[in-house]
Amino acid sequence: MILYEHEGKDLLKSAGINVPRGELLKSEKDKTSISFPLVLKAQVLSGKRADRGGIVMVENKDSLQESLKKVFNLKTFGEPVKAVLAEEKIPYTKSFYLSFSYDTNFRSAVLSWSPEGGTGVEDRKVNIVPFDIKKIAFPKDLPFPVEILESIVKIFLENDCLLLEINPLVSFFDYDGKEKWVALDAKISLDDTASGRHKNWQYSERSGTRVSEREIAAKKIDEGDYRGTAGSSFVDLDGDIAVLASGGGASLVAMDTLLSLGGKPANYTEYSGNPPREKVLRLTEIVLSKPNLKGLWIIGAVANFTDIYETLSGVIEGIRSIEKKTGKKFDFPIIIRRGGPREKEAFSMLKEVKDLNIKFSGREISIAESAKIVMEETRKYDNSL
């Protein structure tokens, strides 16, 4: 889960990291007690906010309402602006990019930093310093005080962050002549798999750029239930062939193959790890909830331990449940290619289903051959309409 800037800053603040004084405004009519000049920052999950007009400097009270209205009505993010952070403006002398994350090259946590903060950091050289989270030690020659790094890495670890990025982290000399460090931004991504040990993660539903109702519903299936997985990955696509794939790898192979043949999938999703039939049932309902579908492709590898009878029973029950809810029968082609434990029972069960247009096969054909059948059958169906 990605946190909004203001949520990330709350975490930083709670660990003693300075952030600018700020107020969260929920509508364009909200007043603020932050003194001018101030900065308005759209609270959205998408990046490049500055380039897209999401960060606006307000010099005085007279221009506040107009600027606020402008930011709330921005359409450049692909997601609505539901909140704006008003913050005091911090004059600074030094600015850095700083982040903590995990890196596949080192297979460890890394500190990334650049001597120049602000937008466009992807185009600048970033120094990457791997470190062992069991005994944290940083090189001595970094341009930040060690206490700052230690506080930030503590937040990173205690909150199971996948990414904690501060861009920019700035410093200036305060009245007392001491250098003061302030995080002007915060981008935090939490590791959802750790949610079971963070009962305090009570963040509202993310309505980010790409998140659809179906995606939110699909993600709920796995919540609090470790038995296999179903729907945790779900992406709405423009096409008309519903896809119910099994396995992370096989689902990718299936999508690549279908697209290479000119097929148009209506979604990406997968279930795997021997989920119970109820999970597959619910995912089937979501996959079939799109209007004007021309087919359903149930595709997976020869499973190692997923119970094929249970999971395919879940699919059929999902189809029945939608039929009951809508009062309509599915007449489009349903192409199944699957194998693995209890496949014989699964195939006898499918044989008994006479009122659906099911074509099933097992390991005798490949995923690619199954994709070809999907193309032929959906074309036939399309022509018959």
Partner 1 sequence: MILLPKNAKIIGQGLTGSEGRICLPTMLQYGTKVVAGVTPGKGGQEVFGVPIFNSVKEAIETVGEVHASLQFVPPLFVLAATLEAIEAGIKFILIGAEKVPVKDAAQIISLARENGTTIVGPSSVGLINPGRSLKIGGIGGSEPERVYARGEVAVISKSGGMTSEISLHLKNNSLGVSFALGIGGERLVGSDFADWLIALEKDPETRASVIFGELGGTYEERVAECVRTGKIKKPVIAFIAGEFASTLPSGIQFGHAGAIIEAGRGDPKEKRRILKEAGVLVAEKFDDIAGLVKEALANNINLA
Phi-psi region of 344 (alpha: psi -120 to 50; beta: other; left: phi over 0): alpha
Which of 73, 127, 304, 326 forms a contact with partner 1 (CB under 8 A)? 304
Which of 230, 297, 340, 360 forms a contact with partner 1 (CB under 8 A)? 340
Q: How many residues bind partner 1 (CB under 8 A)?
A: 53
Rounded Cα distance, 85 and 32, in Å: 10
Which of 93, 125, 134, 262 forms a contact with partner 1 (CB under 8 A)? 134
Which of 249, 325, 380, 382 forms a contact with partner 1 (CB under 8 A)? 249
Residue 264 near partner 1 by CB under 8 A: no
For tokens 């959205």, the residue is 44
Residue among 53 and 208 whose Cβ is closer to partner 1: 208
Which of 176, 199, 226, 328 forms a contact with partner 1 (CB under 8 A)? 226
Which of 36, 89, 116, 273 forms a contact with partner 1 (CB under 8 A)? 273
Residue 255 near partner 1 by CB under 8 A: yes
Residues between 189 and 208 with contacts to partner 1, criterion CB under 8 A: 191, 193-194, 196-197
Spatial CA neighbour of 204 closest among 75, 102, 333, 83: 83
Residue 275 near partner 1 by CB under 8 A: no
Residue 225 near partner 1 by CB under 8 A: no
Residue 268 near partner 1 by CB under 8 A: yes
Angle between helical axes of 213-220 and 277-287 (0-180°, round to 10): 180
Using a 10 angstrom Cβ sphere, with 0-12 exposed, 13-18 middle and 19 or more buried, the burial of residue 296 is: buried
- Pairing type for strands 55-58 and 38-42 reads antiparallel
Q: Least distance from C-beta 277 to partner 1, angstroms?
A: 15
Select the span of 7-15, 28-36, 177-185, 361-369 touching partner 1 (CB under 8 A). Answer: 361-369
- Pairing type for strands 38-42 and 84-88 reads antiparallel
Residue among 157 and 356 whose Cβ is closer to partner 1: 157
Residue 128 near partner 1 by CB under 8 A: no
Residue among 26 and 264 whose Cβ is closer to partner 1: 264
Residue 357 near partner 1 by CB under 8 A: no
Residues between 153 and 182 with contacts to partner 1, criterion CB under 8 A: 157, 160, 162
Select the span of 4-12, 105-113, 314-322, 347-355 touching partner 1 (CB under 8 A). Answer: 105-113
Rounded Cα distance, 262 and 353, in Å: 30
- Cα separation values, 329 from 119, 255, 375, Å: 53, 26, 22
Spatial CA neighbour of 245 closest among 275, 217, 290: 275
Residue 238 near partner 1 by CB under 8 A: no
Rounded Cα distance, 378 and 242, in Å: 11
Half-sphere exposure of 142 (CA within 13 A, CB side): 22
- CA-based R_g, the chain, Å: 26
Q: Least distance from C-beta 122 to partner 1, angstroms?
A: 7
**Coil, strand, or helix at residue 175?**
coil
Select the span of 54-62, 145-153, 176-184, 267-275 touching partner 1 (CB under 8 A). Answer: 267-275
Residue 253 near partner 1 by CB under 8 A: yes
**Coil, strand, or helix at residue 332?**
coil
SS3 content of the chain, % helix, strand, coil (to 5): 30, 25, 40
Please, are residues 371 and 257 in contact by the beta-carbon 8 Å criterion?
yes
Residue 257 near partner 1 by CB under 8 A: yes
Residue among 20 and 340 whose Cβ is closer to partner 1: 340
Tokens of 257: 């193959």
- Pairing type for strands 241-246 and 179-183 reads unpaired
Residue among 56 and 255 whose Cβ is closer to partner 1: 255
Rounded Cα distance, 89 and 246, in Å: 51
**Contact footprint for partner 1 (CB under 8 A):** 102, 104-105, 107-109, 122, 132-134, 157, 160, 162, 191, 193-194, 196-197, 209-210, 226, 229, 233, 235, 246-253, 255-257, 259, 268, 270, 272-274, 300-305, 340-341, 363, 366-368
